[in-house]
Each structure stands twice: as C-alpha cells, then as structure tokens.
Amino acid sequence: MRDFVITADSNCDLLPEYIKENKIGIIPHYYDMDGVTYGDEVNLTSKEFYDMMRAGKMPTTMASNPAVIRDTFQKYADQGLDVLHFSFSSALSGGHSNVVCGAEEICEENPGMTIRVVDTLNVSLGEGMVIMKAVRMKQEGKSLQEIADWVEENKQHFCVYFVVDDLFHLHRGGRVSKTTAIVGSMINVKPILIVNNEGQLINSGTVRGRKKALSTIVNRALENMPEEYRTPDYDLCVVHGDAAEDAQVVADMLAEATGMKVIINVVNPSIGAHSGPGALGILCMGKARC
C-alpha cells in the first residue's frame, strides 16, 4: 500500500504550527486588497488586513490557481505518494472544482497514483476539524480510503455557528439583501449563521445585539453536542475576525461547559473578506447541522 499525504486549501484555518508539525500540504486561495494580490508568498497580517477593512478598503477573493494545484500534486507524484485532499465547501468557492480537475490531470499523467478529493461542505476550522480528525486516523494506521469514506459518512456532524458584526460585508458577498443590511444595521440585528448540509452559509435566525448573539451561538453549539463528541477524539474551535477578546470569552464558556480544550484562530482573509472584522464562529461536532 502506497503512503499518502493529507492536503487542504488555505481556507481550512488550521494553526500554522499544526500544519508544519503534521506536514499538511496547503494550496492557497487568494485575495486582492487595494490592487495587490495576496495569498501565496506575500500576505498581510490578520491585523493589517482587518484594519484595512475597518478603514473602508474592500477586498476581493479568488479561488485556488490551477497551475499551483498541478505543481503541488505533481510534487507528491514525484515522491511516489498518494494524496487525500480536503476542500473548502464547493457551494461557496470554485476551489473544489479546480482541485478535482487538477487531480484528474495528474492521475492521468502518473498511472498508479491516487488523489482523492473530499468536499468537506464546510468552512474555516470546520474544514480544519475534518483534517485534524483525518490526521488522527492516519496516525492510527487507517488507509486513505478508510479515512475518506469515514469523512463522507460523518461530515454532516461537523457544525458551524457564526455571527458577523457588519451585515454589509455579507451583502457584498450575496448573503443578505441590501435592505436587510441597512435595516439590520440600524436596529443592531445580528444574524445567526450556519453551514447547512449542502455547504451553504445560511441565516438561521436573528437576535438583537452582539452580546446576545455570542451567548446564542454558545448555547446552540452546546445543545447540539452530545457527550460522545466531548472527548479527545474530536475538536472544539473558535474563530474570529480580529476579535480576540470576544473569542477568548466564548472559548472559556465552551471549555467550562464541556471540559474540552478549545482551539482559537483568526479567520483568514480569503474568508474574512466576506465575514468582515468582528466576525466570530464556533465549530464543533454535533448531532446535525442545525
């Protein structure tokens, strides 16, 4: 049986030290800020990126580059390795289809190589949690196919609860109407967003005020987390758009309720361009995406 590597796109929001330690291959997604394209060798810090958004700069995003995808997979082909790739939700980005096309081309050119692409139908550390589970399974000796099959059968249990601070960023990304953005901002309405079974980011209700919104997503996550998922075999995460203090408060609430270690990371710019500064999400295992 050939050895294999696990790869993903940069939208998985895994911590840099985790990526390095576990040798996860990362295919970048890109963003443009003020006429400069970032995402590969050159990047803004999260603070720089979100401060520029606060100052009124409006970034745009781009999916993964087909040439980079081919080069990445060919590198592993040259090493005699198979690839298990996890992608950002196909409902939210063209990156998944780009990777599928690149994988098919490289496999045709390298007979005997396997590249299996799994659409996580998830975002940010929701995608990252799938990868962390896959890494543990690989360390336990599971094969590429066994891991991929398990993820396909269980990916609907990787849940996301998200709030944003500014509805206009969601409007620019086509998530809410302009009227909703204007009215919501006037009356301080905060939508509770989830990723559904089709991998789409949808509105799952609204509350008034940020404090209420944060407590709501904590309660929603905890209500959906049975004891079987509150073990070291699974992860519990918080991501934020340069809102570290709120993220720590939410993480502390989750840790106290579950006894689990909570991973915290910043939402990368490719996603943050749509969610905006102040966004905050909880990513957990649950009974269902609800």
Regarding whether 262 and 121 lie in a shared domain, the answer is no
What are the mean pLDDT values of the chain's consecutive 10-residue runs (290 residues total)? Answer: 94 97 97 93 91 94 96 98 98 95 98 98 98 98 98 98 81 63 68 93 88 97 97 96 98 98 97 94 97
Res 231: pLDDT: 94
Res 186: pLDDT: 62
Res 191: pLDDT: 83
> What is the domain extent for residue 250?
157-285
Regarding whether 138 and 15 lie in a shared domain, the answer is yes
Distance CA 95, CA 161 (A): 23
Res 42: pLDDT: 81
Q: What are phi and psi of 283, to 5 degrees?
A: -125, 125
Res 235: pLDDT: 97
Looking at 137, 154, 171, the residue that finishes a domain is 154
Torsion of CA 270, 277, 181, 31, to 10 degrees: -20
Regarding whether 197 and 172 lie in a shared domain, the answer is yes
Regarding whether 218 and 141 lie in a shared domain, the answer is no
Q: What is the pLDDT of residues 206-225, one digit of tens each?
A: 899 999 999 999 999 999 99
Looking at 93, 121, 154, the residue that finishes a domain is 154
Res 174: pLDDT: 63
Q: What are phi and psi of 65, to 5 degrees?
A: -90, 125
The domain that holds 43 is classified in CATH as 3.40.50.10170
Does any domain span residue 290? no
Bridge partner residues of 161 (DSSP): 194, 282
Torsion of CA 217, 266, 28, 87, to 10 degrees: -20
Q: What is the pLDDT of residues 111-166, one digit of tens each?
A: 999 999 999 999 999 999 999 999 999 999 999 999 999 999 999 999 999 999 87
Regarding whether 87 and 189 lie in a shared domain, the answer is no
- What integer best gives the mean pLDDT of the chain? 93
Res 206: pLDDT: 86
Q: How many domains does the chain have?
A: 2
